[in-house]
Structures are given as C-alpha cells and as structure tokens.
Amino acid sequence: MSLSDHALLRYDRQIALKDFDIDKQQQLAAAKVIIVGMGGLGCVVATYLASSGIGQLTLVDPDTVSLSNLPRQILFTETDCGKAKVEVAKQQLALRNPDCQVIISQQAFGKSSEWLARCAEHNMVIDCTDQLSSRQQINHLCFTTSTPLVSGAAIRMEGCVISFTWQKDEPCYECLSHFFGEPVGSCVENGVMAPLTGIIGSLQAMEAIRHLTQYGSETKGRYLLYDAMNFSFTPLKVKRNPDCRLCA
Ligand SMILES: [Zn+2]
C-alpha cells in the first residue's frame, strides 16, 4: 500500500525512526486489528493505533457508557452516558484520523465460527477485556487461527502485558494459568487507578505496532508486570506448559 503525501507528512516522526521508514508505515496502513473490549485499555489502544496509522480497526464491545467509566475510558464524555461504547468510539476515532477504517460490533466476542473466521481475516487481536473467561476464549480463537494476540490486564494498582505470536515452543495464555491464582474478581469489586489503564493500554499499542512491523526484538514468552504502588516493572519469562489444556 503506497502512502499519500498527506500520510507521509502525518507520520513523518515515525517514518524518521531508524529502520522503521516508509516500509513499516505502509505495513501499518495495510494492517487489520481487532480490539476486544472498549474499556480503559481498549480506549487507549484504539486511540494510539488509529493515530499511528493502522489501516483498519474492528472494535468489539456489547456495553454502553456509564459515569463510572469516564475516569479511564478517555474516548467518552458525560454526554455519551447510555450510548453504545463502540458507536461513540468510532465517531471519536474518525475525528482523530479519518484514514483509519473503523468497523464496530456490539456482539460479545465468543467461540463461534463467525468469530473464528473474523480472527483469521485479521492480522492481530488485542485483548482489552476484564474477565478471565473472555481472555480464555480469545486465546482459544487466536491459537486456533494462529492470529497474533497482545493481551493486557489492569486492576487495582497492578498490570501486565504479554504477546503471543504462536511460534514453536511459545506459551499460550492458558500456559500462564499458574500465575492467576484464585480469581480476583473485576475492577468493580477491586477498584483501579485511572492512569494504570493508560500505561498498560499504551504498552499494548506499542507491542501491537512492533509485532505488526517486526520492529525491535522478539518477545517470545516475555511477560511484563507493572506494580504502580512501588514504581516498578518486572519482566518474567514464561515457558510453554507441557500439560496445557489448550496448546499441549
Ligand atoms: Zn498453552
């Protein structure tokens, strides 16, 4: 996909990056990405991916905007309360970058043949959901279709990011299950500090761009934990679980 003069000007600071150049900006323009969940993570991921030149975003979320969403969900305002999140997000992203094609779905993402086909048509899925069951379903669909997956989570004052590109010996999300412990519930019961979703969502957007363009080093099995309470990032290495109920 060749870039217009307008696009060359718009993305000039990215194109100026060493080894990124016009080639990788063109790869972003050709990329199709699904974002599941338009909460605190999804709003940030969608904003950065649209603004940095991704060609097509598919936004998936069945919910409507509520007042308690507003501290984290930066695409929405008080006048949007009661409206479908994906509708408002589409309008806001069009204002920020009309060159990004935005497709929306108010269906819940699930293990259906329709979603399996849609995963296979996209270059990447970004998991911005807040339920373990949703994460497991997304992992299952991406594993089945070998669609790269960037997964992020944020709760209380803690967050994490990991990517799955389905290479040999790479773990899947289920392989990490020993990290989960007892289910901790959602942000509704546990709370979450607003900028945390901005930090984790930004890391997810950065990883998405890196994987879509093969820019920078590989991150096979690297799991990054962020502890906001103690101002620390901890990188962990996750191995494939030989007894994993999905990928073993
Ligand atoms: Zn696995």
Over residues 35-85, the pLDDT tens digits come to 999 999 999 999 999 999 999 999 999 999 999 999 999 999 999 999 999
204 phi and psi angles, rounded to 5 deg? -65, -45
Contacts of 231 (CB under 8 A, 6+ apart): none
For domain 31-237, give its CATH number from 3.40.50.720, 2.40.50.1070, 3.10.50.40, 3.90.1150.10: 3.40.50.720
Across residues 178-197, what is the average pLDDT?
A: 79
- Output the CA torsion 90→94→98→102 (10° steps): 0
Is the per-residue pLDDT at 178 higher than 80? no
**Ion ligand 1: residue ranges with CB closer than 5 A:** 172, 174-175, 244, 246-247
Mean pLDDT of the chain: 94
Ligand 1 center–CA 174 separation, angstroms: 5
Residue 184 has pLDDT above 90, yes or no: no
Q: Which residues lie below 8 Å from residue 129, measured CB to CB, with a gap of 6+?
A: 36, 37, 39, 109, 135, 138
| Least-confidence region, from 101-105, 125-129, 132-136 | 132-136
166 C-alpha to ligand 1 centroid (Å): 10
Output the CA 239–ligand 1 centroid distance in Å. 9
Whether pLDDT at 238 is above 80: yes
Quote the pLDDT of residue 218. 87
Q: What phi and psi values does residue 158 have, to the nearest 5 degrees?
A: -130, 150
Q: How far is the CA of 192 from the centre of ligand 1 (A)?
A: 28
Kindly indicate the confidence band of residue 183, based on its pLDDT and cuts at 50, 70 and 90: low
How far apart are alpha carbons 242 and 227 in whole angstroms?
29
The whole-number pLDDT of residue 190 equals 86
Ligand 1 centroid from CA 150, angstroms:
15
63-77, 98-112, 226-240: which has the minimum mean pLDDT?
98-112
Average pLDDT over residues 94-118: 92
- Residue 129: helix, strand or coil by DSSP? coil
CA 215 to chain centre: 17
| CA 105–ligand 1 middle distance (angstroms) | 28
